Amino acid sequence: MVERCYVHVVDSDSSRRANIAHSLYSRNSHAEIYENLDELMERSPSEGALLIADDDLSDPKVTIETIRSSTGYLPVAFFSANPSPQTIVRAMLSGALDYLHWPSSADVLQAAVVQLGHKGAHYAKIERRKDEARHQVAALTPRERDVLQGIVAGGSTKIIAGHLGISPRTVEVHRGNMLSRLNVRSTADALRIALYAGLAD
């Protein structure tokens, strides 16, 4: 049985847009079509996979950031008839999960969006975890955050104390409060949250 997908297609070319939608419909998938990104943003879709025509865009990174600032995480793939290797690399480095060639058969397109959906579910879970971690870290006091950053940097209690100009005992107090505020039992769990929150970046 063909796996059903929910797909958003952004393409200013009405003929190509219709052909893509028809191909997806023929494989029991649903396609929402948009003439441009503004129309997509007005509807703010929160589920499904997103296909965007490359020739409608100038900067894939800005495009993906704009979409995610409004809709949250959506798995994004670009498509084009004859993309250059540089174009593909730029799109992938910008956060696209795939780069599709068009035209392609309905079966190839369906397989691509199914894979995109599976990849997207995995990355969406990671993005939700990152967002949760950022909120947890934001709830820390400045000193608790300092101690957490010291742990991320690999510092011992003594080193963190020296760096912050406080006693090792005070570092331990802040560490305990930090663990409690993060609702975790161990420094390893706190470190995991810090890494998801991007404190090591």
CATH assignment at residue 11: 3.40.50.2300
Same-domain pairing of 188 and 111: no
Same-domain pairing of 106 and 157: no
Same-domain pairing of 103 and 149: no
Is residue 145 very low, low, confident or very high in pLDDT (cuts 50, 70, 90)? Answer: very high
Give the pTM.
Answer: 0.68
| Residues 24-48: tens digit of each pLDDT | 999 989 999 999 988 988 888 878 8
| Residues 58-97: tens digit of each pLDDT | 688 888 888 888 777 888 999 998 888 888 898 899 889 9
pLDDT of residue 125: 85
Residue 2: pLDDT over 60:
no
What is the CATH number for 178? 1.10.10.10
Domain end (from 127, 159, 186): 127
Q: CA angle 42-19-24, nearest 5°?
A: 75
Amino acid identity, residue 22? Answer: H
Give the domain extent around 151. Answer: 139-197
SS3 state of residue 50: strand
CB atoms < 10 A from the CB of 171, how many? Answer: 25
Domain end (from 70, 95, 127): 127
- Alpha carbons 80 and 100: distance in angstroms, whole number: 7
DSSP, residue by residue, 9-58: EE-S-HHHHHHHHHHHHTTT-EEEEESSHHHHHHH---SSEEEEEGGG-S
User: Number of folded domains in the chain?
Assistant: 2
Mean pLDDT (the chain) is 89
Same-domain pairing of 91 and 30: yes
Same-domain pairing of 29 and 116: yes
Same-domain pairing of 44 and 120: yes
Same-domain pairing of 117 and 160: no
| Residues 146-174: tens digit of each pLDDT | 999 999 999 999 999 999 999 999 999 99
134 within domain boundaries: no
| Residues 95-128: tens digit of each pLDDT | 899 999 889 999 999 999 888 888 888 887 888 8
177 within domain boundaries: yes
Domain end (from 127, 147, 162): 127
